[in-house]
Amino acid sequence: MDKKAYSFKKNGRFININAKKRVRRTVLDFIFWKMGIYNKHDKKIILPKDFEYPSFKGEFTQDEPSVAWIGHCSFFIKTKKFNLLTDPIWNSACSPVSFIGPKRKHKPALDMHMLKKVDYVLISHDHYDHLDKKTVVSLNKIYPSITWIVPIGMKKWFFKNKITKNVYELDWWDLYLDDNIEVHAVPAQHYSGRGLFDGNKRLWCGYVIKSLLEKKNVYFTGDTGYNDILFKSIADTFKYMDLSLIPIGTYSPRKFMSPVHIDPYHAVKIHKDVKSKLSIGMHWKTFQLSNESLDLPPYELFLNLQKENIDLSEFVLLQPGDFINW
């Protein structure tokens, strides 16, 4: 199969390319998980009581490209020409019904009204912890000139919520281009759906963002399982990343999660695959969406970086609200 194949559908639903296992999670999968059937083979790792992941914030220069972690997979990326948000969620919960969904464990680190400007928003897929209606509608009111970049099939959702301007749908390997930025949609191994009957009707993706002034590359993986063909095809296309935003949490039990969410071991593999100069961990600490404790991913990341002899300063963890240069 072509390593750079565009997405395609089977029976009206998008499917994953080169996946070695069934990827889309079903209601039955969720039931088996909650019954403990998928929990039997996970290796238990004990977190040392005194463990703290080292901080590598360093000196901060306001005028240089920077990134701040808002929480979960929401980042605020600044360059000299534009400001960009990834998968923004300011809501207190992530579910169709907020009073029963997973609750936020810390407040959003930045005030939505204090960002000064937001030029672009990237949405990786339609799950409730990545596409939040309340947040999207509020951002559109505050910053009405936002350019929204979304996967195929999602424009209809934006139009339904009365956001009809500057919404661009991308297929895998499609490009959005203007005077300041290139945004390339790239494949991810995941699935989509916001209800019982719309599974995989919309595409999912990651993005490679090129800042044209600084000539730097940013890789936002979105949610993904590990697929060596997929990530190596991204590496072959872009050669290196100046900054990568890579998930490190929501991975246990592995039998259930591994097709759709990487663990710290595979986060390190992606860091290496795409030749990332600096990576930042995401998809942890904000929502409890899996079995591992919220403070375990940093320790597992630490162990796997040590095994690979990778300096910890190459793969950093931010506290919500931390700004660093890249």
Domain borders along the chain are: 63-325
pLDDT above 90: residue 303? yes
SS3 content of the chain, % helix, strand, coil (to 5): 20, 20, 60
Side chain identity at residue 301, one-letter code: L
pLDDT above 90: residue 260? yes
C-beta of residue 92 within 8 angstroms of C-beta of residue 103: yes
C-beta of residue 209 within 8 angstroms of C-beta of residue 181: yes
For residue 65, is the peptide bond before it cis, meaning its omega torsion is within 30 degrees of 0? no
pLDDT above 60: residue 47? yes
d(CA 65, CA 242): 11
Model-level pTM? 0.96
pLDDT above 80: residue 4? no
**Stretch 122-151: mean pLDDT:** 98
Residue-wise pLDDT for 184-196, tens only, equals: 999 999 999 999 8
- Residue 297's pLDDT is what? 98
- Residue 24's pLDDT is what? 82
**Stretch 218-245: mean pLDDT:** 96
Residue-wise pLDDT for 146-204, tens only, equals: 999 999 999 999 999 999 999 999 999 999 999 999 999 999 999 999 998 999 999 99
Cα angle, residue 314 at apex, residues 225 and 309 outer, rounded to 5°: 85
Residue-wise pLDDT for 204-225, tens only, equals: 999 999 999 999 999 999 999 9
- Residue 26's pLDDT is what? 82
- Residue 57's pLDDT is what? 77
The fraction of the chain above a pLDDT of 90, given in percent, is 85
pLDDT above 80: residue 98? no
Q: What Å distances lie between residue 209 and 78, 120, 197, 240, 314, CA to CA? A: 12, 11, 32, 12, 19
Query: Hey, what CATH class is 63-325 in?
Result: alpha beta
Lowest mean pLDDT among 95-104, 286-295, 315-324: 95-104
C-beta of residue 193 within 8 angstroms of C-beta of residue 201: yes
- Which strands form 83-86's sheet, in the order they lie side by side? 167-170, 147-151, 120-122, 83-86, 74-78, 66-71, 323-325
DSSP state of 312: G
Per DSSP, the residues of 234-282 read HHHHH--BSEEEEE-----SHHHHTTT---HHHHHHHHHHTTBSSEEEE
272-294: b (≥16 Cβ within 10 Å) or e = ebbebebbbbbbbbbbebbbbeb
d(CA 256, CA 132): 24
Lowest mean pLDDT among 24-38, 203-217, 236-250: 24-38
The mean of the pLDDT values for the chain is: 94
- Residue 2's pLDDT is what? 46
- Residue 1's pLDDT is what? 38
pLDDT above 50: residue 9? yes
**Stretch 95-114: mean pLDDT:** 92
pLDDT above 50: residue 261? yes
Residue 126 has which token pair?
A: 């339609």
C-beta of residue 186 within 8 angstroms of C-beta of residue 236: no
Under the banding of pLDDT at 50, 70 and 90, the label for residue 252 is very high
pLDDT above 90: residue 3? no
